[in-house]
């Protein structure tokens, strides 16, 4: 770890994405955020795993910076390892942390897509912030429908939840949990989801402009 303080990138991701997802999920009263007395809090645990995944990715790259798809992938993997959600009821979703991880990664892509899009629009800073907030509420990231599958009968999201859930298991020898998360594979998934949603973003922006007229 190069620093004992989270980077500006992680702070941005936490403030705009992770904290918001935590708030939405915990409002359901089915989950709370993991807390272990005397140990580091969840935001720092996620940050440490996020940095580890980033370092691992950079070892196989010629550059020194990760693109948005790899950042989304690293954050997704970090959340899976930390498992920040703890159920508070007997009825809960077994893949709750995987769902959170995927949604966090998708929202990273969404955030960068919106910022890049508005960077090319002639807006002053106040209007840019206003439109960014409106887009966040109106631009919903879509996934390929089940009709677009060739032979699979399960929807795209459920397949990803399962894939993330199966990326870790308890080792019978060490009795510890082993993670086989593939940064590159999920970076490619996030890349294709961005391409799939470009037109969706354009339509959401055009809808907002029409609402103003």
Summarised one tens digit per residue, pLDDT across range 189-204 is: 999 999 999 999 999 9
Condensed to tens digits (0 to 9), the pLDDT of residues 101-157 reads: 999 999 999 999 999 998 888 878 878 888 899 999 999 999 998 776 656 667 899
What's the pLDDT score for residue 26?
Answer: 84
Which stretches does DSSP call E strand in the chain? Answer: 31-33, 85-87, 168-170, 177-179
CA 77 to each of CA 25, 99, 105, 122, 143: distance values in angstroms, whole numbers, following the listed order: 19, 12, 9, 36, 20
Q: Are 168 and 181 in contact (CB under 8 A)?
A: yes
Q: Decide if pLDDT at 23 tops 80.
A: yes
Nearest Cα neighbor of 16 from 139, 110, 90, 79 is 110
Q: How confident is the model at residue 97 (pLDDT cuts 50, 70, 90)?
A: very high
For the entire predicted model, the pTM comes to 0.90
Give the Cα separation of 187 and 13 in Å (integer).
16
Q: Decide if pLDDT at 1 tops 60.
A: no
CA angle, corner 14, sides to 62 and 40, nearest 5?
Answer: 95
Q: Decide if pLDDT at 28 tops 80.
A: no
Over residues 58-65, the mean pLDDT reads 85
Q: How far apart are the first and last CA of the chain?
A: 51
Average pLDDT, the chain: 89
């Amino acid at each position: 770890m190069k620093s004992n303080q989270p980077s500006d990138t992680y702070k941005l991701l936490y403030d705009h994405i992770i904290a918001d997802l935590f708030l939405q999920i915990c409002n359901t009263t089915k989950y709370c955020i993991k807390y272990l007395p005397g140990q580091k809090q969840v935001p720092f645990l996620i940050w440490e795993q996020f940095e580890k995944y980033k370092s691992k990715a950079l070892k196989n790259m010629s550059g020194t910076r990760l693109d948005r798809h790899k950042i989304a992938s690293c954050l997704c993997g970090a959340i899976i390892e930390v498992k920040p959600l703890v159920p508070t009821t007997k009825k809960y979703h077994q893949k709750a942390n995987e769902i959170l991880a995927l949604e966090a990664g998708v929202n990273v892509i969404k955030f960068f897509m919106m910022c890049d899009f508005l960077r090319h629009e002639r807006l002053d800073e106040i209007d840019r912030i206003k439109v960014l907030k409106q887009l966040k509420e109106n631009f919903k990231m879509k996934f390929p429908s089940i009709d677009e599958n060739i032979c699979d009968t399960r929807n795209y999201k459920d397949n990803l939840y399962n894939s993330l859930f199966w990326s870790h298991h308890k080792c019978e020898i060490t009795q510890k949990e082993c993670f086989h998360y593939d940064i590159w594979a999920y970076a490619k998934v996030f890349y294709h989801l961005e391409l799939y949603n470009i037109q969706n973003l354009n339509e959401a922006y055009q809808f907002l402009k029409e609402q103003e007229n």
